[in-house]
Amino acid sequence: MSELIPAQQLRYSAQLLLPEMDERQQQRLFASKVLIIGLGGLGSVVASYLAGAGVGQLLLADDDRVSLSNLPRQLLYSSAEVGLHKVDCAKARLTAQNPEIAISTLPKRLTLAELQVLLPEVDLVLDCTDNASSRLAINQACYTQQVPLISGAATGWQGQLLALKPWLGQGCYQCLYPDWQDSPSCLQSGILGPLVGMVACQQALLALQYLLNIGVIPFGHLRYFDGLQGTSGQLQLQQDPDCPVCALNE
């Protein structure tokens, strides 16, 4: 394993000072590949933190274009980029932030079949989408391909975070929302940028902990909080014995 060059030692100096970190751990990040699905308020923040930390390969998937209403909470984009594909804008900004990492883009909404092909190539999936069909497809693909999933959601004043290894009998998103329908979009229910950022920062932190194999990752537990009331909590996900995705008696 090669040593970090002086410029890398300087770039990553703050995180290398942590007792859990060293050059070997930094090399571990360089060797990691993460799929980020959705580059809105969650994904744009998550991608920036993972790129900054030196995650070596980021695969970015989103079929959307930048709109003016995105800009208060989607921090990768500028007014000049309205109308452009988010993945292209994100790649340009992240490459400028850290030219050492490799970034691939998929300007499309991934189907279950496409996810099944992609997932064996990655170490971790971050679900930053905003619709039920995508979340359920991601959940099913991660289960069948046995790739860990960290999913975030934010709408109104509510935020949720869920880390999953459902093949270990912890349950999955299908168990949590067996009859899930799309919730109102941010433009319908309202949202403040910092609330989305809070969820995204937790997603990024859990992702780095997982890739580095440090700390406690609450797999199978749903974290939730209310940004208006300042309350938060956690509950353990229960596996639905009739779940069509992860039930033990399938």
For the domain made up of 32-236, give the CATH fold: Rossmann fold (3.40.50)
pLDDT of residue 184: 52
Q: Which of 71, 57, 41, 76 is nearest to 152 (CA)?
A: 41
Give the predicted TM-score (pTM) of the model. 0.94
pLDDT of residue 249: 46
pLDDT of residue 182: 53
Show the 3-state SS of 125-163.
Answer: EEECCCCHHHHHHHHHHHHHHCCCEEEEEEEECEEEEEE
pLDDT of residue 227: 92
pLDDT of residue 177: 81
pLDDT of residue 149: 98
Q: Is 186 an annotated catalytic residue?
A: yes
Task: Per-residue pLDDT tens, the chain, 250 aa: give them.
Answer: 578 999 999 999 999 999 999 999 999 999 999 999 999 999 999 999 999 999 999 999 999 999 999 999 999 999 999 999 999 999 999 999 999 999 999 999 999 999 999 999 999 999 999 888 899 999 999 999 999 999 999 999 999 999 999 888 889 988 988 776 655 555 567 889 999 999 999 999 999 999 999 999 999 999 999 999 999 999 999 999 989 998 854 4
- Classify strands 231-236 and 149-155 as parallel, antiparallel or unpaired: unpaired
Q: Which of 142, 186, 243, 246 is catalytic?
A: 186
Listed in sequence order, the residues at least 6 apart from 166 whose beta carbon sits closer than 8 Å to its beta carbon are 139, 142, 143, 149, 172, 175, 220, 239, 245, 246
Q: Cα–Cα distance between 153 and 180 in angstroms, integer?
A: 14
Show the 3-state SS of 194-216.
Answer: HHHHHHHHHHHHHHHHHHHCCCC
pLDDT of residue 1: 56
Question: What is the torsional sign of CA 20, 26, 30, 36?
Answer: positive
pLDDT of residue 21: 97
Residue 14, classed as helix, strand or coil, is: helix
